Amino acid sequence: MKQNWKPGTLVYPVPAVLVTVGNDESEYNVLTIAWTGTICSDPAMCYISVRPERHSYPILKKNREFVINLTTEKMAYATDWCGVRSGKNFNKFKEMNLTLGKSHVVKAPYIKESPLCIECRVKEIIPLGTHDMFIAEVVNILADEQYINEKTGAFDLEKAKPLTYSHGKYYGLGEFIGKYGWSVQRKTK
């Protein structure tokens, strides 16, 4: 039997990413975002949803650029901290020992400790209610070489131990179950 619940945000698990913003040092800031995802393959596009009261919001709105920095188990503490402290009161990069790098295309910086940094340029801002959705095109990816498989050239994100977020709690990835399409593959003896 299922119970009827009132509408709520229960699509979990999701990533908890660190989004970096700012055109120059005076603006640089980072905030944790769980409302994020891919929305188109070609052109590669993603979104973040941000509440207007965040310190990062006017910076994002003015510059229309940001970087999605994927997070790892090692970065879990910083990811939580950057999501409960505001850039209004803290230099979060300094407090959490996050190292900034100069992005390739956008002015917002990237976080060196992140395995994969996705440079984004905003195409549209849609006010939805509590959050505004920033729909963006991916304009460059910065992939940490230490996770690139030398033989295949593939990016081994599992090696970086990505962080996930579900119902208010952080987790690592679970056990490997199967790869894309394995459900219909012919079984070999």
Under 8 Å CB-to-CB from 133, ≥6 apart: which residues?
47, 48, 49, 125, 126
Binding mask 154-173 for ligand FMN (x = CB under 6 A): -----------x--------
- Peptide bond before residue 58 is cis, with ω within 30 degrees of 0: no
Q: Does 51 bind ligand FMN (CB under 6 A)?
A: yes
Cα separations in angstroms, 111 against 19, 49, 145: 9, 20, 14
Give the whole-angstrom CA distance, residue 10 versus residue 2.
15
Residue in this structure with the two tokens 């963006």, named with its chain if needed:
136
**With CB under 6 A, what is the number of residues at the site for ligand FMN?**
22
Q: Does 69 bind ligand FMN (CB under 6 A)?
A: no
Q: Does 33 bind ligand FMN (CB under 6 A)?
A: yes
Of the candidates 20, 22, 47, 56, which one interacts with ligand FMN according to CB under 6 A? 56
Of 130 and 149, which has the nearer Cβ to ligand FMN? 130
Binding mask 124-153 for ligand FMN (x = CB under 6 A): -------x----------------------
Under 8 Å CB-to-CB from 109, ≥6 apart: which residues?
20, 22, 28, 67, 100, 101, 102, 103
Task: List interacting residues with ligand FMN (CB under 6 A).
Answer: 16, 29, 31-35, 49-51, 54-56, 80, 83-88, 131, 165
